[in-house]
Amino acid sequence: MSAEVKILDGNTFVVSDDRGDIEASLTDPTGLFSFDTRFLSKWILTIDGQRLNPLSVDDLQYFETRFFLVPGTGTVYIDAKLSVIRQRAVGDGFHEELTVFNHDDKPVDLEVRIEAACDFADLFEVKDALKKQGEYSTRVEGERLVIGYRRETYVRETWVSATEACAIDDHGMTFAVHVEPHGQWTTDLHVAIGRGIQGAGGRPKYERHAKKARPIMETSLEKWLDDAPGLECDWDPLKRTYHRSLVDLAALRFSPVSLPGHYLPAAGLPWFMTMFGRDSILTSLQALPFASELARTTLVALGLWQGSRSDDFRDEDPGRILHELRFGEMTAFEERPHSPYYGSVDATPLYLVLLDEYERWTGDTKLVRALEPQARAALAWIDDYADLQGNGYIAYQRRNEETGLENQCWKDSWDSISYRDGRLPGFPRATCELQGYAYDAKVRGARLARDVWRDPALADRLEKEAADLKRRFNRDFWVEDGGYFAIALDADGSKVDSLASNNGHLLWSGIVDKSKARSVASHLMSAAMFTGWGVRTLADGQGRYNPIGYHVGTIWPFDNSFIAWGLRRYGFKDEAARIAAGILDAAEFFDGRLPEAFGGYPRELTKYPVQYPTSCSPQAWSTGAPLLLLRTMLGLEPTGDHLIVDPALPNGIGRLELLDIPGRWGRVDAFGRGRVDVAKRPRRAAQLGVIKPEKKKRGGR
Amino acid sequence: MKQITREFFAELEKQPALPGRQTGVLCIDLADGERTEHWYLDIRRGAIHVSHKGLTPDCVMSTDLATFEAIVDGRMNAMAAVLRGAIQIEGRFSLLIALQPFMAGPREALKRPTAGYARRRS
């Protein structure tokens, strides 16, 4: 099994082995994918019937890679007289420049062959290994090979062509190649999405038929990096992590079919390269001080798709913001509800939070006015459709029992919501962070109503409702004998009383009474929750706690970035800095690319963050976590037309400068110097928050 | 041409502004046996004016009458139909997406809360 090499652009991506070959089976996630459909499942290069051997792979950019190969398949070093370079760039399909070098002083005649085939699998089929219902075809059409699939009116085609003369048959292309001594031979291979979704073309990501595949300017990485604020820091790892985050965020940009030329963050590479309500919103929030265009596109695109009817199959209701949009065959034939699927209960209030935060940063009242109907519909959804139990709290219970999502909050695994003793509650479930989001949505909605929509009556009503919600929430969710908020209310309105990281999101939302904030913050920073790397999703000591349980003990960098923001909101600057230090230290172990989650083992036990096996990297909101932590550490807060800077940085960071921060103020710089002692013996060191082993402290509640 | 399609176009002009308040011309080509009817939606900042005049479209949506009726009746999902190739789109896709809320079947469906899931608190 060779290593996987991935390149992507938007929702088109290629996964191959380290020779550049693709040999996919139905359950094997390799190939060329676009719009959730596999457009190439076989792509094998041979020279004189022989496979090639990889010497090295050079990842040039996220959309481009280069394979250095030699003929022969032995394990010993071959003194090759030939070598091959495949340089591949993804765009609308992919483009491969294939070069054969003759290092001998005699000419050679070679048969170079590319085998090509496609199964047109839907991503959902690859995950679930399902059978196809349509018919396949291959034909040679002029100078290209056309590989096709048809099921009723659903037609998908891949077109394969080359710039050099070749013999094309149903299974590939054969080149009769003559290479002079010390000479080379080159052909460009083009694999195009010949027939995809009608009208979903948009613009090609690179100039079609250009000799060199180059991305078009608006989407180029250089411009993206130029537009982002510059970062200078005494602590080098942060510079690397920052750069990695920006590059990965660029790779995760996705242009929705509805808004060609505009980009929002897709959820993750490669399986989640699509619009997700929750992921796109939270990542846009994290990235607001760095790239507000992502938030703008997210708001417009999600607004365009806002729910308009009650549809049980899609868990859709008027005003609801979508969960996930997919384009594959199973969605086309309504075997899956993703056209789009609306089964997320937090995306709608978070949509309002993003709309307000976007305006606070950019001053773009024009967009807030244009989206007024969507914002009002979202506010109405909270009251009219999300209150499933009629008790004034947002809750979820899927109506699509077959293919809908059971847990519609961010902790969406089956055992994520549990009582302290480990039992699982029934449905509906009203998780606590949803109430916080709803509160924040109303508070922010009130501000927009008053300042932008000029509707003081609505503003008054929303403020009154928010205050009422806050009062009831602090009474109904508070676990008296624990001093924290229950993770949820169950179907009977009783507390699901486990201690979980959701408490940090509550601080972020502002729903927590001041008198309770200290107790909540203490829990988050206790040994039961804070490992030295970050805050666990579920506290040690709870029934279902498991340091490598997906939502019951692992540490999620995105979660921690919002927890840190929440701590700052209530004035716990040093605590926020400690979390930032832990997560940024962890990032360094992952070469600046934080995973979705990592193990919740105590830092002094493992010395390094234990990776959690995950299929998706980079993941958008993990990529956004260092950005939000930067904002949090520097204490960046828009106030009117100014940006407040109030730094509280871990000691080891030294001097930190974030330059040219864009916003309604134009561009401003922020400076800070590390002053917060996050470790027992602070020093400017390789790691920010390392704790001396002899100070090891265990236990907890 | 059935009643429901005529009603759909008649109702469109009375609707509130389309999401996103777009401007553009959407041409809807409906094939009914040998005949094809062209409906032009002249959309200005979200407000729709319906005509049969040959305007220059920013987006052309072509389908057969039966598919279109199933969609405006709320029996078929427009996006799934596009993915399936039952509807062909050329040009600005966002104009069609913006129209989706009005393809939800009878008007009252828009306001209907789902039984058992939306009891407003007193």
Any CB–CB contact under 8 A between A424 and chain B?
no
- Among residues A465, A498, A531, the one where a domain terminates is A498
Q: Provide the strand spans (E) within A35-78.
A: 37-40, 42-47, 52-61, 64-71
Q: What is the pLDDT of residue A228?
A: 97
The predicted structure's pLDDT at residue A643? 97
pLDDT digits (tens, 9 = 90+) for A488-536: 999 999 999 999 999 999 999 999 999 999 999 999 999 999 999 999 9
- What does the pLDDT look like over A256-292, one tens digit per residue? 888 888 899 999 877 788 899 999 999 999 999 999 9
Of the ranges A382-396, A600-614, B82-96, B98-112, the best mean pLDDT one: A382-396
- The residue among A179, A54, A160 whose CA lies nearest residue A111 is A179
Which pLDDT score is estimated for A699? 42
Q: Which of residues A167, A184, A216 is at a domain's end? A: A216
Ranges of chain A with pLDDT below 70: 1-3, 73-79, 127-130, 198-219, 614-616, 680-685, 690-701
- Whether B46 has a pLDDT exceeding 70, the answer reads yes
Please indicate, yes or no, if residue A446 is contained in any of the structural domains.
yes
Backbone torsions φ then ψ of A526, nearest 5 degrees: -75, 165
CATH classification at residue A94: 2.70.98.40
Same structural domain, A422 and A489: yes
**Interface contact A427, partner B, CB < 8 A:** no
Query: For residue A426, what are the domain limits?
Result: 274-498
Rounded Cα gap, residues A289 and A383, in angstroms: 31
Beta bridge partners of A253: A265
> Is A539 part of a structural domain of the chain?
no
pLDDT at A127: 67
Q: What is the pLDDT of residue A80?
A: 77
User: What torsion do the CA atoms of A553, A557, A559, A564 make, to the nearest 10 degrees?
Assistant: 120
Query: Looking at the complex, does the CB of residue A309 fall below 8 Å from at least one CB of chain B?
Result: yes
Q: Which residue of A has its CA nearest to B80?
A: A332
The closest CB to that of A200, out of B93, B105, B113, belongs to: B93
Which residue of B59, B79, B99 is the best one to mutate when testing the A interface, meaning the one whose CB has the most A CBs within 10 A? B79
Q: What angle do CA A238, A242, A243 make, to 5 degrees?
A: 120
User: Chain A: nearest CA to B117, how far in angstroms?
Assistant: 5
| Nearest residue in chain B measured CA to CA from A261 | B92
Domain end point (choices A498, A513, A531) = A498
3-state SS assignment for residue A472: helix
Angstroms from A432 CA to nearest CA on chain B: 19
In CATH terms, B3-104 corresponds, of 3.30.930.10, 2.60.40.10, 3.40.228.10, 3.30.1050.10, to 3.30.1050.10
B22 versus A444: the higher-pLDDT residue is A444
CA distance to partner chain B, nearest, from residue A212 (Å): 28
pLDDT per position as a tens digit, A194-208: 988 865 444 333 344
> How many CB contacts within 8 angstroms connect chain A with chain B?
113
CA A282 to chain centre: 9
Contact B117 A327 (CB under 8 A): no
Residue spans per domain, chain B: 3-104
How would residue B74 be classed by pLDDT, with cut points 50, 70 and 90? confident
Cβ–Cβ gap B86/A391 under 8 Å: no
Compute the distance between CA of residue A552 and CA of residue A590 in angstroms, rounded to an integer: 22
Three-state DSSP class for B78?
helix
Question: How many angstroms separate the CA of residue B55 from the nearest CA in chain A?
Answer: 20
DSSP letter (8 states) at residue A635: T
Lowest mean pLDDT among A276-290, A449-463, B7-21, B61-75: B7-21
Nearest Cα to B86, choosing from B78, B94, B98? B78
A199/chain B closest Cα distance in angstroms:
5
Cα separation, A120 vs A194, in Å, equals 12
Same structural domain for residues A208 and A297?
no
User: Which of the four pLDDT bands, split at 50, 70 and 90, describes residue B5?
Assistant: confident
Which pLDDT does position A61 carry in this prediction?
79
Complex ipTM value: 0.86
Q: What is the average pLDDT across B20-32?
A: 89
Mutate to test the interface with A, among B21, B93, B97, B110 (most CBs of A within 10 A): B93
Domain CATH code at residue A449: 1.50.10.10
Q: Do A333 and B93 lie within an 8 Å CB cutoff?
A: no
What do you get for the CA distance between the two ends of chain B, in Å?
46
* A373 with B83: Cβ contact below 8 A: no
Residues A211 and A339 in one domain: no
Number of domains chain A contains: 2
In whole angstroms, what separates CA A647 from the centre of its chain? 27
Picking from B16, B84, B93, the nearest residue to A258 by CB comes out as B93
The yes-or-no verdict on residue B118 having pLDDT over 60 is no
Closest-approach residue (CA) in chain A for B90: A199
pLDDT for the residue numbered A379: 97
Bigger pLDDT: B77 or B54? B77
